[in-house]
């Protein structure tokens, strides 16, 4: 189902494809379209238009270059680099140890060995390889609790 576009976006598209408007003005309309969020179908239309201008042998070099610059902007929107996030290794290791301790506690409860013996978590040592994303932790914990409650009902 095609997305509904705003009246302003529709007007810019009309200007961009109008044969009665100078090509330089049409390129300005194309620029105004790609500088803001719009549906992917509209980006495809603008890119097709710009390729037509860039490949038009009768077009002045200035217009062809401007069209190519705008095409690069459209392409750049589609290929966005990933973002990196700094990791606090001390906090990550502490959180990893907490997760490992919680897993051990769950194992002991399931084995009906709770309350545990003295030193039940001493042999965990340094915890490596546990990656815990703190973002969304509450939602994931709630989902795990619901899952555990369902498992207990089935038992």
110 and 149 in a common domain: yes
- 1, pLDDT greater than 50: no
* Residue 83 maps to a domain: no
72 and 94 in a common domain: no
Task: Report which of residues 125 and 153 the model is more confident about.
Answer: 153
54 and 93 in a common domain: no
**36-39 contacts at long range (C-beta below 8 A, 24 or more positions apart):** 38/5, 38/9, 39/2, 39/3, 39/5
* Residue 40 maps to a domain: yes
Residues spanned by the domain of 114? 89-154
Nearest alpha-carbon partner for 24 in 72, 54, 66: 66
95 and 71 in a common domain: no
65 and 127 in a common domain: no
* Residue 2 maps to a domain: no
Given this model, what pLDDT does residue 31 score?
92
**For the chain, how big is the Rg over CA atoms in Å?**
29
Given this model, what pLDDT does residue 112 score?
87
* Residue 1 maps to a domain: no
Given this model, what pLDDT does residue 66 score?
92
Q: List alpha helices for the chain, DSSP H.
A: 7-17, 23-34, 40-55, 61-78, 89-110, 137-154
pLDDT tens digits along 86-109 = 666 777 677 777 778 888 888 888
Number of domains making up the chain: 2
What is the value of pTM for the model shown?
0.48
Supply the angle between the helices 40-55 and 7-17 in degrees, to the nearest 10.
20
């Amino acid at each position: 189902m095609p997305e509904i576009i705003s009246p302003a976006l529709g007007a810019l598209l009309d200007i961009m494809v109008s044969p009665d408007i100078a090509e330089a003005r049409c390129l300005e309309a194309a620029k105004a379209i790609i500088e803001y969020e719009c549906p992917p179908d509209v980006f495809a239309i603008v890119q097709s238009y710009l390729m037509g201008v860039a490949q038009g042998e009768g077009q002045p070099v200035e217009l062809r270059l401007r069209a190519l610059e705008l095409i690069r902007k459209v392409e750049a929107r589609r290929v966005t680099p990933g973002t990196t996030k700094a990791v606090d290794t001390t906090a990550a290791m502490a959180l990893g140890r907490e997760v490992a301790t919680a897993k051990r506690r769950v194992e002991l409860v399931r084995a009906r060995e709770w309350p545990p013996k003295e030193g039940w978590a001493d042999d965990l040592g340094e915890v490596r390889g546990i990656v815990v994303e703190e973002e969304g932790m509450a939602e994931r914990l709630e989902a795990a609790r619901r899952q555990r409650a369902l498992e207990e009902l089935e038992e």
